[in-house]
Amino acid sequence: MSPVYRRIGTVIIALGFDPRRTWLSLRFLLGYLRDIRKWRQESKQSRGPHFAFHLMPTLAERYANSGVASGHYFHQDLWAARQIHQRAPLRHLDVGSRIDGFVAHLLAFRSVEVVDIRALDSRIPGLSFQQADLMAATPPSIRPAESVSCLHALEHFGLGRYGDPVAPDGWQTGLRNLCSLVADDGLLYLGVPIGRPAVEFNAQRIFDPRYIVDEARRHGLQLLAFAHVDDAGDLHEQAPGPLDAHLAQLAQLDYGCGLYLFRKQVGVSAP
C-alpha cells in the first residue's frame, strides 16, 4: 500500500469508519440472508438440544483467511521471542511493546518485567508492571537488566499519542533512557518502522534505519544483528551485502520494520 493511501486509511479509521470492512459486509449480506433462511428450514429437522437463536452478523469474515502470518508485528514478535527463549536471561525487561502480542509470547515460557507510560489494570501471572515515562529528563529508577526489548514503541515517543508530552526529539531521549536500562554487556532488542524518514503526526515516526544505528552508538550500543520486514510484510534476516549499503537501500522503503539487536559495551555511559 502506498504511504498516501496508508495515511488516508489511518485517518478514516481513526474517525470510526472502516471502508474495507463496510464493503465486505455489504458484499456478503445476500449470502448471510440466504444462510438464515437455510438455518431456519433445517433447524426444524434437527434432533439435537435446543439453542436460542439470536442474530449477530459477522459479515466481513465470510471469506477471510485463517490468519495473518506476515507483517511487522507477526515477524518482530517471533524474531525477538525466539532469541530470548534461546538465551534464557535471568531477567527480561520490556518497554512499551504490545501486551497481547510480544509480551504474551514471552509469558508462555518466562517471567517479564514491563514498563509503559500507560496503565495496566490486568493482573497476569509472571508479569510485573511499572508505569513510567521513558522521556523523563531523569531515567526511571529501574534496575538495569541483562535483556531489554522495545518493539514498535520508540517511534511514538513525543507525539502525544499516549498522553505523553509533545517533543520532536522524544525518540532520542527515549533511546538514551532505554540504554540506561540495559546492564553492561546486556542486549537490547529494538523494533521500529523504517524507510523514507517522516513524522506521521501523531501516529508514529518512520526512521532512516541509519538514524537508529548512529544514535545507539552514541549511547554505547554496538549492533550485533539486523533484520527487517519489507513493504510486502516479509521478513529478511540476512543482509545481501555490506550492512551500510543495505541500510541505505532500506531507507527507500515506504513502511518497513527494522529489527535491531544491540549489545551494551562495558563502561560506556549515555551522554
pLDDT digits over 181-215, tens only?
999 999 999 999 999 999 999 999 999 999 999 99
| Phi and psi based region of residue 126 (left: phi greater than 0; alpha: psi -120 to 50; beta: remaining) | left
Q: Which residue has the cell 429437522?
A: 45
Domain boundaries, the chain: 3-61, 72-264
pLDDT at 270: 56
In angstroms, the CA 181 to CA 142 distance is 7
Nearest to 132 by CA among 118, 146, 151: 118
Between 217 and 138, residue with greater pLDDT: 217
Q: Dig out the grid coordinates for 36 from the structure.
A: 438464515
In angstroms, the CA 215 to CA 172 distance is 7
Q: Work out the number of other CB atoms within 10 angstroms of the CB of residue 120.
A: 14
In angstroms, the CA 148 to CA 139 distance is 15
What architecture does CATH give domain 72-264? 3-Layer(aba) Sandwich (3.40)
